[in-house]
Amino acid sequence: MAASTPLKGIELIDCAKANAKQGIETAAGLCGYGRDLNTFKQELQHACSQIGVQVNELSDLITDQQVIRQGEGVEVAPDTPSEL
């Protein structure tokens, strides 16, 4: 769900990180910045600098754990709804 007002600080970082794999347009929209990508980038860089993290691109927020999790996993599900 998109934020009703533009997020700031750690909330912005958390939202951007959670949506980084979906791309900057999606992340900006969900963080409350709509299509204003420049302001989104500036606010994200400012928020990250406040906590001592340097971010040049949104993809810098994607951690190794997120990349590893994407490739792993086995789906476990019943063959039919009646086998629940």
**Interval 12-31: pLDDT, tens:** 999 999 999 899 999 999 99
Q: Say if residues 33 and 74 touch (Cβ distance below 8 Å).
A: no
**Interval 26-80: pLDDT, tens:** 999 999 999 999 999 999 999 999 999 888 888 888 776 655 555 556 667 777 7
pLDDT of residue 65: 63
User: 8: closest CA among 34, 31, 37?
Assistant: 31
**Interval 69-78: pLDDT, tens:** 555 566 677 7
